A and B are shown apart, each in its own frame.
Chain A
Amino acid sequence: MNNTIDFTVPVYTVIKEHPELKGILVEFGFKPLTDPAMLNTAGRLVNLNQGAKKIKADVNVLAQQLEWNGYDVKGVENV
């Protein structure tokens, strides 16, 4: 029952522990997550910090979105 999201672990791991986050992440802009193949490949290599950079989104906005959904965040790297 851990509600902390670690921005430094692979997205794959985050989704595995919190499958319910997928919708929020896709809505935020991580479109490739809808493809299980992408989740299994790129998802294992990229963490949320790196992912946000890749889609040119502000990682702090993502962190706030998660907090507004009741999660704690850790490891958010400010650019």
Chain B
Amino acid sequence: MSSAEHLTEKERQRVVVLTDILTRLHRGATPESVQTEFDQHFQGISAIEISLMEHQLIENDDNDITFEDVMKLCNVHANLFKNRVTEAGGTSEFEKHGHPVHVLKSENQAMRAAMMRINRLLQKLDGADVESGIIKGLGNQLRLLGQFEQHYQRKEEIIFPVMEKYGHLAPPKVMWGVDDQIRGLFQVVLDELAQVETKGVAAVKESFTAFQHEFNEMIFKEESILIPLVLEVFNEDDWIAIALDSKQYGYAIVEPEEEWIPNRVDFSESVTSDKLKEDKQVQDKAETLTIDQLPRDKELPFGQGYLTLNEVGKILDLLPLELTFINKNDVFKYFNDSIPDEEKAFLRAPSAIGREVKNCHPPKSLAMVLQLIEDLRNGVKDKEQMWFERQNGQFIHVTYVAVRDDDGSYMGILEYVQDIQPLRALTGMKRGLD
């Protein structure tokens, strides 16, 4: 990717300033204290350039800068862009209904409107006796706003992988961390609302104000930094895949009114091959996975018997488990499709196939995931199990097991996930037919 030798003197200067600012944040300086200096040096610099610089600094080992520092810089960053937001003229693809960018923006608008309604209700509750009708309405509106989860999930699970594919590793990581903070703040609001009768409206109000501030900042970051950045780097095939994958995650408050049909469906050959070169690593992986040439009905030796490829596929999709496989290089390679999406404990997107597993997790659980992978790889463990209850009544049991070849060499990790609530609920016996 971009290496230091290609930088001009000016660019090198900027990297020095950015390093200095981030180092100060790392040592505890407040974001406000660096705003002026940041504005001065980064006025007119595109979001991509700044994110690339941040990326380099995180990856670079000769400084202490972590992505948590970049996260602190996020607001500073956004403030600069607030002062010079420019709108492009003409109707582009992304301004059309159903285009993933249009969908994101419509959702943001609907969520802003929901926040206004919530504020109004909180104001109405001020001073007055707690009116149960308004509390119910407030609950309605918060539940509605809670659909931001779908918006965040689409961003994290579908858009971030494509950004990573193009080498933008830092912005997704940083944003995902902030998303998780916002999720936490929202949960506090819900908890306060549940206790409104004993603790009063003030606590709800206070928690909502805290949430709203960060939430609005995120909307701004999405629209002024994330969207311009991805519009510059994603091609139309990427957007088509994103639009397609979006459906299974669902939408926040507003659904796309129509399907986006791009003017040009086929991405031209030459451009595609350029992209392929750029993206060679992932493509190479994909090529070794290609099985189109293999006869689907040829008997192949499996275990103690024989199966055709066709039979293998059908059987894997019938096992009552969510199966996920990552290979020895930590690349997400396979998931089966036997459980309906709405019942899945962990939704997977086809577009995430080929993605490195370290990029598939929110920062807060990453350390645990990497530890687990290392332990399974090195044989410290062969298996790890976890279980938890979900709000929908499911009792999820998760197993991670190391897959090893006959000679013991590590091949990857198989994850299998099952809702065991129906099994836990069994009593007595049933020995006849239905």
Interchain CB contact under 8 A, A70 and B136: no
Interchain CB contact under 8 A, B144 and A20: yes
Q: Which residues of A contact B140 (CB under 8 A)?
A: 23-24, 69
A20 to B254, CA, bound (A): 7
A71 to B253, CA, bound (A): 16
Closest A residue by C-beta to B110: A20
A13 to B133, CA, bound (A): 26
Would A64 and B117 be within 8 Å (CB), given that A1-B109, A19-B253, A24-B140 are in contact? Answer: no
Q: Is A2 an interface residue (CB 8 A)?
A: yes
Q: Is B308 an interface residue (CB 8 A)?
A: no
Q: Is B244 an interface residue (CB 8 A)?
A: no
Mask: chain B, 253-294; 1 = CB below 8 Å from A; 0 = not = 111000000000000000000000000000000000000000
Q: Is B344 an interface residue (CB 8 A)?
A: no
A1 interface neighbour in B112, B118, B133, B138, Cβ under 8 Å? B112
In the assembled complex, the CB of B106 is this many whole angstroms from the nearest CB of chain A, namely 10
Q: Which residues of B contact A2 (CB under 8 A)?
A: 113
A2 to B110, CA, bound (A): 10
A70 interface neighbour in B110, B137, B254, Cβ under 8 Å? B137
Interchain CB contact under 8 A, B253 and A70: no
Interchain CB contact under 8 A, B113 and A69: no
A71 to B113, CA, bound (A): 10
A65 to B121, CA, bound (A): 12
Q: Which residues of B contact A20 (CB under 8 A)?
A: 110, 114, 144, 253-254
Q: Which residues of A contact B254 (CB under 8 A)?
A: 19-20
Q: Which residues of B contact A19 (CB under 8 A)?
A: 253-255
A24 to B114, CA, bound (A): 14
In the assembled complex, the CB of B149 is this many whole angstroms from the nearest CB of chain A, namely 15
A3 to B120, CA, bound (A): 10
Task: Point out which of A1, A23, A64, A68 has the most chain B C-beta atoms below 10 A from its C-beta.
Answer: A68
Would A70 and B117 be within 8 Å (CB), given that A1-B112, A20-B144, A24-B140 are in contact? Answer: yes
Interchain CB contact under 8 A, A69 and B117: yes
Task: Point out which of A1, A65, A69 has the most chain B C-beta atoms below 10 A from its C-beta.
Answer: A69
User: Would you list which residues of chain B between 99 and 118 have a CB under 8 Å from chain A?
Assistant: 109-110, 112-114, 116-118
Would A70 and B133 be within 8 Å (CB), given that A1-B109, A19-B253, A20-B253 are in contact? Answer: no
Q: Which residues of B contact A69 (CB under 8 A)?
A: 117, 121, 137, 140-141
Question: Can you list 8 A-B pairs, Cβ within 8 angstroms, ordered by A?
Answer: A1-B116, A19-B255, A68-B136, A70-B114, A70-B117, A70-B137, A70-B141, A71-B117
User: Chain B interface (Cβ within 8 Å of chain A)?
Assistant: 109-110, 112-114, 116-121, 131, 133-134, 136-138, 140-141, 144, 253-255
User: Chain A interface (Cβ within 8 Å of chain B)?
Assistant: 1-3, 19-20, 23-24, 64-65, 68-71
